[in-house]
Each structure stands twice: as C-alpha cells, then as structure tokens.
C-alpha cells in the first residue's frame, strides 16, 4: 500500500499507479484546511501533457465546497492538457455536495474504482507526453 500523506487537519491521501493511470485515494475531511495541500498535489499530478487521473472519494467522511475547488482546478488543467479525470464516489454526502455546487454533470463520476479504470481500457491509452 502507498504511504499516506496529510493534506489538512483531518484529510490525507495515497497515490498509486494502475496501468498508466494515477489513482489518488482521499480519506477523511476535505475542507478549506485541506484544499491548499490538495491543490498543490493535484497540480503536480496534472503538470504533464495527457495526464490520466482517478480521484477516489469513497473514504471521504466530509467534503465542503472549498474541498471541491482543487477537483475543479484539476479538471480544468487536465482538459487543457488533453487528459482524463474520473472521480469515484458512492457516498450520498459527497454526491449531494457536488450536486449542490452544480457539479453533478461536470465530472465523470463512477461508483466503483474498476469502472473508472475501465475508461482507459475502453478509450485506449492517451498519447505519450512530449
């Protein structure tokens, strides 16, 4: 298992690579205290051309609109770099906050990690970063 990294007072994450996809698993509270650290980490993961990232939110116990901001920024960066971003979320509380912020249809959301990873298999690999 990948080592955990703190991203705020109660939030933490792990990262691993599955195929060519970076999977970021978030845990705990993703709020204003975690937003800056999460933004910095996601900026690093989305700096190259054609990033392929899955953010797994299933272990998130709390998220607020400030916690969604780094995800929106990552989405925009990935789109500009012709990459892919998928979220994994099965919690009503997370999905409710996303819906309340008007983001339900903005992200490619899956309820299970295998479904999110299958997108890469279905769509094929992204072009190599140059």
Contacts of 3 (CB under 8 A, 6+ apart): 14
- ∠ CA 97-20-11 to the nearest 5 degrees? 35
CB of 99 closer than 8 Å to CB of 71: no
Q: How confident is the model at residue 6 (pLDDT cuts 50, 70, 90)?
A: low
Strand partners, 76: none
In percent, the amount of the chain with pLDDT more than 70 equals: 86
Q: Which of 82, 20, 94, 93 is nearest to 56 (CA)?
A: 94
d(CA 109, CA 123): 16
Instruction: Supply the pLDDT for residue 126.
Output: 59
What integer best gives the mean pLDDT of the chain? 89
Q: Please tell me the CATH superfamily of domain 5-123, with its number.
A: STAS domain (3.30.750.24)
Instruction: Supply the pLDDT for residue 38.
Output: 94
Strand partners, 56: 25, 88
Q: How confident is the model at residue 123 (pLDDT cuts 50, 70, 90)?
A: confident
d(CA 110, CA 86): 7
Q: Tens digit of pLDDT for each residue in 81-111? A: 999 999 999 999 999 999 999 998 999 999 9
pLDDT at 41 over 70: yes
Instruction: Supply the pLDDT for residue 13.
Output: 85
Domain ranges of the chain: 5-123
């Amino acid at each position: 298992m990948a080592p955990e990294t703190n991203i705020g007072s109660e939030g933490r994450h792990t990262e691993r690579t599955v195929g060519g996809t970076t999977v970021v698993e978030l845990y705990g509270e993703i709020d204003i205290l975690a937003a800056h650290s999460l933004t910095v980490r996601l900026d690093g993961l989305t700096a190259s051309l054609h990033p392929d990232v899955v953010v797994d939110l299933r272990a998130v116990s709390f998220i607020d609109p400030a916690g969604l901001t780094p995800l929106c920024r990552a989405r925009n960066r990935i789109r500009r770099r012709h990459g892919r971003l998928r979220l994994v979320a099965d919690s009503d509380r997370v999905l409710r906050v996303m819906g309340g912020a008007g983001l339900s249809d903005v992200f490619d959301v899956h309820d299970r990690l295998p479904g999110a990873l299958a997108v890469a298999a279905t769509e094929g690999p992204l072009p190599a970063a140059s």
